[in-house]
Chains A and B, each alone.
Chain A
Amino acid sequence: MTTQTEIVRAKQSVGGRIASALGGTALRVFLVLVGLFWLVPTIGLLIGSLRTSADMSESGWWKVFGAPSQMTLDNYSNLLKDETITDSILSSVMITVPATLLVVVLGSLAGYAFAWMDFPGRDWWFIGVVGLLVVPVQVALLPVSELFGEIGIFETTVGVVLFHVAFGLPFAIFLLRNFFAEIPRELLEAARLDGAGELRLFLRVVMPLGAPAIASLGIFQFLWVWNDMLIALIFADSENPPITVALQQQVRFFGDNVHILAPGAFISMVIPLAVFFAFQRQFVSGVMAGAVK
């Protein structure tokens, strides 16, 4: 048996090594080309955002490699003087931060209850929540806009935040309940014996131990809300929209306003990209856990 294996290995090493070396080079070249192909659109946007509108209407962004002096930060400084843009960034923050925190807090509370509390029909309730994972937001757009209209929070930040929280909760509860359920029972019992109450147990034991899952969830929800356009388009205050909606309003005049759109899009990408690069691992595990969403 062993000898057979050795023979096969030896055979491979005669002609196979050259072939695999060649194949290896071809593979590397291919991957580099694909990688470049994937980067080109973003590079185009970045360079486009650094050229004047006159240069942009004259020639493609790739011409900048022959004339690096075309690069200028003017578009950015003009844009950051524009109050609609700075206000919209602020507005994005005002929506994203509470929507993320609320999902984390409410999701943790419910996830803990589903994992460790005893009440009738617990698993049925949880299965109901899991069922809601895949409900498309589109189903709720019209009914909720009418509902919000009646209680007076249509086109307000509160409304957008509540909508995001509601549609973030099924995933949050699903993720956190499963993670909390893995916490060793002895830890909770020990804390209980020390006289910790329900709230104390939750804050001092469950939340710290659940930190990795909570981080994944927070990052995921943050990006989801920050990047959302549809919900903000309908529920946000149209006088004070978040950055995605502010930019979307510019897209209608596409052509003469690349000097606004390109840097604007890039500014809107800076925060998610920073979060992405800083928390890659949590982001990836969030994506993997969310594969059912």
Chain B
Amino acid sequence: MASANAGGTAKVAPPAPTPRKSVTGTRRMVAVLFLLPALVLLGALVLYPIGYSLFRSFFDSSGDFTAFDNYKTLFTDDSILTAIKNNAIWLVVAPTVATALGLIFAVLTERVRWGTAFKLVIFMPMAISMLAAGIIFRLVYESDPDRGVANAVAVSVHDTFAESSAFPQAHPSMKSPLKSAGGGAFITKDPVRAGTPVVLPLTGVPPNEMPDDAKAAKAARPDPDRVTGTAWQDFTRGKGRGEVNAPDTAEFGYAGIKVEAVKDGEVVASTEAGADGTFALPKEADGAQLRFPASNFREPYNGVDWLGPSLITPAVIGSYLWMWAGFAMVLIAAGLASVPRELLEAARVDGANEWQVFRRVTVPLLAPVLAVVLVTLMINVLKIFDLVFVIPPGSSKDDANVLALQLYNSAFGDRDAGVASAIAMLLFLLVIPVMLFNIRRMRREGRR
């Protein structure tokens, strides 16, 4: 029976011929009974809504005919345009990166004995809800580095490579000999002379944020061979400022603050102040202006604003990758298992290194699997809703907008059924190629 069919495909009109005739000689009534419940539900809740959405998309929110106005709105409304733009970013980035990660993991774990355990860990997030994943990542992305793990890591990495500044709020007072040098630095108004101690008063650092080793500020001793001076907090608690522009005993030195001597825009010498705020620069500094570089005053690094308007979409995509890289990995690993060993071995024997084997043999053989994974993820990403609904805080919700969320807002927030239906049709339009692909594949398989 099967062989007769295999030879007879040519005469058969589409769809596929019938390789399996009924074993039972079924009465039609029975077939109808078996199919009816499923087909009624599919018709009423899947098929009918497509037709209704198409029809409804030509009418405005109050039900008047507006032809294509709702579709024009899709490409003029700012909020919907943001959604389209973000969906495009999602579509390009998320499936590609998830597939790439899946491919890397699948290939790397292939020859590791505990590869299965690793795969289990990567695959596990697929089992939980996007809502739970959203809550998990809301915690991960919290901006306070004492609470969100992403920023805790970012800050500790940053502080390992770049020293944090000690005097973030310090600034010259009104009658100070210092002026702003732009970019957060401060510079003396006049050139300094060796032998004449320089006073560099600043204010603005809260007492509890002064460096721990800061001591009472001292006036620097004059030294004819060097430029000396004091950098300190010119502010005495309780009695205001004490003597202006001169260190009082109750005032503290800016221990460790950096001082540069600048001549014609070039740094000729630099040093750091001692615990009592005094510093000494070599003779070259004579006639230069002294500058506090901006690094003294930089705000402490607090990590990345993951949930802020500019990073919110990449941040949410990150949480999606956490969930779906495992899906790509499992499918690709299954594909990998069916790659004939001999082919890889032959390539190795021919002198190809591991990278060449991967690039020239493994990937081309996996191409069909990679395509299926990519397409599946694209359909999935097109409909992305929960993560975008849950992760962004109110302030960056608009910047994270995607089509599925916009549809929800248009339909159930703005109560604009016309625009909501137009968005629905746009989503539907985008899956039609995949739908046709599935149907073609089905018919091919049926004919076999």
Residues of A within 8 A of B (CB): 4-5, 8, 27-28, 30-31, 34-35, 38-42, 44-45, 48, 56-62, 106-107, 109-110, 112-119, 122-127, 129-145, 147, 162-163, 165-167, 169-170, 173, 181, 185, 188-189, 192, 198, 201-202, 223, 226-230, 234, 244, 247-248, 251, 254, 258, 261-262, 265-266, 268-269, 272-273, 275-276, 280, 283-284, 287-288, 291-293
Contacts and interface: CB of A to CB of B under 8 A. Distances in A.
A268 to B, nearest CB: 6
21 contacts: A5-B349, A41-B140, A59-B147, A110-B35, A116-B20, A119-B31, A135-B50, A136-B404, A136-B428, A139-B424, A142-B49, A142-B420, A181-B20, A192-B23, A227-B131, A251-B390, A254-B393, A273-B124, A276-B124, A284-B123, A287-B327
B426 to A, nearest CB: 10
Given A34-B118, A35-B122, 7 more contacts: A31-B109, A35-B117, A41-B139, A127-B443, A143-B53, A163-B45, A244-B131
B439 interface: yes
Interface in B34-57: 34-35, 37-39, 41-42, 44-50, 52-53, 56
A276 B52 CA distance: 38
B367 interface: no
Given A113-B35, A123-B15, A227-B131, A132 B46 contact: yes
Contacts of B420: 142
Contacts of B128: 227, 268-269, 272-273
Interface of B: 15-16, 18, 20-26, 28, 30-32, 34-35, 37-39, 41-42, 44-50, 52-53, 56, 105, 108-109, 112, 117-118, 120-132, 134-140, 145-149, 152, 322, 327, 330-331, 334, 349, 351, 372-373, 376, 379, 382-383, 385-386, 389-390, 393, 403-404, 407-408, 411-412, 417, 420-421, 423-425, 427-428, 431, 434-435, 438-439, 442-443, 446
A181 B18 CA distance: 11
A291 B38 contact: no
B149 A61 contact: yes
Contacts of B351: 8
B38 A107 contact: yes
Given A129-B42, A138-B427, A227-B128, A262 B135 contact: yes
Contacts of A189: 23
Nearest to A20: B354
Contact of B135 (A117, A165, A251): A251
B322 A41 contact: yes
Contact of B38 (A8, A110, A230): A110
A265 B131 contact: yes
Question: Which 7 residue pairs across A and B have the least CB separation, nearest first?
Answer: A227-B129, A166-B45, A118-B22, A276-B127, A143-B49, A140-B49, A113-B34
Contact of B44 (A166, A227, A283, A291): A166
